[in-house]
Amino acid sequence: MAILDILNYPDPRLHTIAKPVKEVSAAIKRLIDDMAETMYAAPGIGLAATQVNQHIQLIVIDTSETKDDLLVLINPKITEKSGQQDYEEGCLSVPGVYESVTRAESIAVVALNKNGQEFTIRVEGLLSVCIQHEMDHLLGKVFVDYLSPLKRNRIKTKMVKLQRDR
């Protein structure tokens, strides 16, 4: 397994729309393992393939306290949404920035698991927010895209300065 480089906002590659996974191959399973290791090391609770410059519909998530409950979503689709919740979100691609975003309170998602088998889950709360956040990455959206242009520009300036100062 390997720790992958995470793209940082405002990298234009974060706005690439991910393509569906055609086959859950050995290479995809290796990428899942590498993404999980990267997410845990960061540390984070979710990571989309887009964030590691792999533009396919693949997400890994683990919102458990013990970090031993990995959820893999391949080609995820939201089939139901209800309610609304505001949640302060952060992102491994926008380190150190936390802002409130409004999302659906509960969702149903159909996806493939690590073995290529289709399943459906119904979730709410933090896991619902996390799945919606990571699915946005697959659509080329970063959570700061929900913010006002003024806040977004401040964050962009801060991120560019951080990268320049490294």
Identify the domain containing residue 94 by its residue range: 12-165
Kindly state whether residue 55 falls inside one of the protein's structural domains.
yes
pLDDT tens track for 7-16: 999 999 999 9
List the one residue out of 2, 3, 13 whose CA is nearest residue 142.
Answer: 13
Kindly state whether residue 6 falls inside one of the protein's structural domains.
no
Kindly state whether residue 7 falls inside one of the protein's structural domains.
no
pLDDT tens track for 87-118: 999 999 999 999 999 999 999 999 999 999 99
Kindly state whether residue 3 falls inside one of the protein's structural domains.
no
**What's the Cα-to-Cα distance from 160 to each of 89, 128, 136, 163, rounded to whole Å?**
20, 30, 22, 5
Kindly state whether residue 109 falls inside one of the protein's structural domains.
yes
Tell me how far apart the alpha carbons of residues 19 and 24 are, in angstroms, rounded to a whole number. 13
What CATH number does residue 69 fall under? 3.90.45.10
pLDDT tens track for 115-144: 999 999 999 999 999 999 999 999 999 999
List the one residue out of 96, 97, 107, 165 whose CA is nearest residue 135.
Answer: 107
pLDDT of residue 162: 87
Number of domains in the chain: 1
CA 62 to mean position of chain CA atoms = 11
Kindly state whether residue 2 falls inside one of the protein's structural domains.
no
* Claim: this prediction has a pTM higher than 0.75: yes
Kindly state whether residue 24 falls inside one of the protein's structural domains.
yes
Kindly state whether residue 5 falls inside one of the protein's structural domains.
no
**What is the set of active-site residues?**
134
- Average model confidence (pLDDT) across the chain: 97
